[in-house]
Structure 1
Amino acid sequence: MNISGNTIFIPGATSGIGLALALELRAKGNTVIVGGRRTELLDQIAAEHPGIDTVRIDTADAASIEAAAKEVLALHPDLNVLVTMAGIMRVEDWHTPEFLASAESVVTTNVLGPIRLIAAFIEHLRAQPDATILTVSSGLAFVPLRITPSYNASKAAIHLLSESIRLQLADTSVRVVELEPPSVRTKLLPGHDTNEFAMPLDEFISEVVALIEAQPDATEIQVENVKFMRHAEARGSYDQVVRSINSVDHTN
């Protein structure tokens, strides 16, 4: 993925990693369209950051994805990058069946959402001379956090989905790149934006953009902080890393 000269749609970018990445990519010379569910946040982003377009989209709703895709492509027929950023994280207790509603919501947003987004844009992206699908998994795709089973599983699914469609789309102009964040200080979980274990958001985004710029042909974007999880099994330190990440309170 080239660092500049793109037209990029980022659904799930009204806060956290999505918004920070959108602003940084805009500063690097890209046209950026931000998508999200809450119109008040979209209006605020448009007012505070002239030049960034906004589109309402609920990635848990198939009809909303279809409508947003039509709107984005009508306004930006040169779109060549899709970032499947939207995602949710829930603490679950599987001792009783009450976890089910949470698990279904996580899978719908984190797995079906990206699949439906890619389906809505793939024909358009294939028609571009140089296009990118940037998926977003997690360090937790590779080692589990005890309190978030469905989230871990959803991100593992995104990792293997990314690997698989990269193989299928190798005969097209569409690159598939996987962003693998570590724990980052956002509000993905309550209190997590002040958690000292997590990586500061600005440091994470700066490193991500630097990696994209330095390695435009990379298939995985891994900041240093995620590598201890990403490569734990290959290093033979899987059990140690699982113990380490589960010894920390991730909600404070």
Structure 2
Amino acid sequence: MKNAGNTILVTGGGSGIGQALAHRWHDAGNHVIITGRRQQVLNETIAGRERMAAYVLDVTAANEVEAFVQQVVAEHPQLNILVNNAGIFSPEKVTSRRDIASAERMIETNILGPIRMTNAFIDHLSAQADAAIINVSSGLAFVPYPASPTYSATKAAIHSFTAAIRPLLKGKVEVIEIVPPQVQTELSPGQSADPNSMPLDAFADEVMTLLHAANTPAEVCVERVRYFREAEAKGQFDEALQMLVRYS
């Protein structure tokens, strides 16, 4: 992945991981476009930063995505990197019958959103130099969190989707997966102050170091997530799962 001179689109770029990476990419000399559902949050994220732009977008709305693609490609024809970062988390109690509306929203946002965005931009990206698609999954793609099995399943799906399209796009679009551990963001209430979560700035800095390596890895895994990423291969899956059961 080229370090500077890109035009990068980051979904869910108004807060959390998306915002931290968007700012770092901008600081590195890239033009950065962010999307999200709240205009005020987006405005605050780009305030005082030239070469940053913001658009309100709900990635679960197919008609919005199609209209957005036409607009953003017309206004930013050099766009060459798509970062599918937007995601939501909800805790679940699956041991008795429940309302599954929150599970449906997670599937719409976390799986269908990136698939829809990738499909909408693939022709444009394939025609650009130094093009890339970056999908943000989770360590929970590899060891699921029993307190939110649907969230875990959506991230496992994104990992699978990313791995599947990588060889198909080889030579045209670089396909990268960022695999976060639990990070101090507001993905869930109180998480930003959780001492067991990785500080956001430390996570973003380590991610940028890995992305800026001479050969960008297909999977960007900070050290803190490697235990979960490698648990099954090392025969530690059951141990890791039980660890997460205790937090459920």
| TM-score bracket for the superposition, by shorter chain length | over 0.9
Structure 1 CA distance for aligned equivalents of residues 214 and 181 of structure 2: 19
> How far 1:215 sits from its partner (Å)?
4.5
The answer to whether 1:127 aligns with 2:127 is yes
The answer to whether 1:79 aligns with 2:76 is no
Of residues 4-13 and 45-54 in structure 1, the stretch that sits farther from structure 2 once superposed is 45-54
Aligned twin of 1:209: 208
SS in structure 2 opposite 1:53?
Answer: strand
Amino acid at match of 2:173: V
Structure 1 CA distance for aligned equivalents of residues 209 and 103 of structure 2: 35
Please say if residues 14 and 42 of structure 1, whose CA atoms lie closer than 8 Å, have aligned partners that are also in contact: yes
Amino acid at match of 2:95: H
> How far 1:85 sits from its partner (Å)?
0.5
Residue ranges of structure 1 left out of the alignment (5+ in a row): none
> How far 1:228 sits from its partner (Å)?
0.1
Aligned twin of 2:20: 20
> How far 1:99 sits from its partner (Å)?
4.2
Aligned twin of 1:148: 148
Please say if residues 93 and 99 of structure 1, whose CA atoms lie closer than 8 Å, have aligned partners that are also in contact: no
Structure 2 CA distance for aligned equivalents of residues 16 and 247 of structure 1: 25
Aligned twin of 1:160: 160
> How far 1:46 sits from its partner (Å)?
3.1
Identity, in percent, stands at 44
Residue ranges of structure 2 left out of the alignment (5+ in a row): none
Amino acid at match of 2:60: A
Amino acid at match of 1:176: V
Aligned twin of 1:30: 30
Amino acid at match of 1:224: E
Structure 1 CA distance for aligned equivalents of residues 81 and 157 of structure 2: 21
Structure 1 CA distance for aligned equivalents of residues 48 and 150 of structure 2: 35
Structure 1 CA distance for aligned equivalents of residues 150 and 38 of structure 2: 24
Please say if residues 56 and 68 of structure 1, whose CA atoms lie closer than 8 Å, have aligned partners that are also in contact: no
Amino acid at match of 2:24: E
Aligned twin of 1:67: 67
Aligned twin of 1:226: 225
Please say if residues 210 and 216 of structure 2, whose CA atoms lie closer than 8 Å, have aligned partners that are also in contact: no
Please say if residues 46 and 53 of structure 1, whose CA atoms lie closer than 8 Å, have aligned partners that are also in contact: yes
The answer to whether 1:244 aligns with 2:238 is no
Structure 2 CA distance for aligned equivalents of residues 46 and 214 of structure 1: 27
State how many pairs are aligned: 248
- Summarize the alignment of residues 24-63 of structure 1 with structure 2, pairs less than 5 Å apart: 24-63=24-63
> How far 1:182 sits from its partner (Å)?
0.4
Amino acid at match of 1:227: R
SS in structure 2 opposite 1:235?
Answer: coil
> How far 1:118 sits from its partner (Å)?
0.3
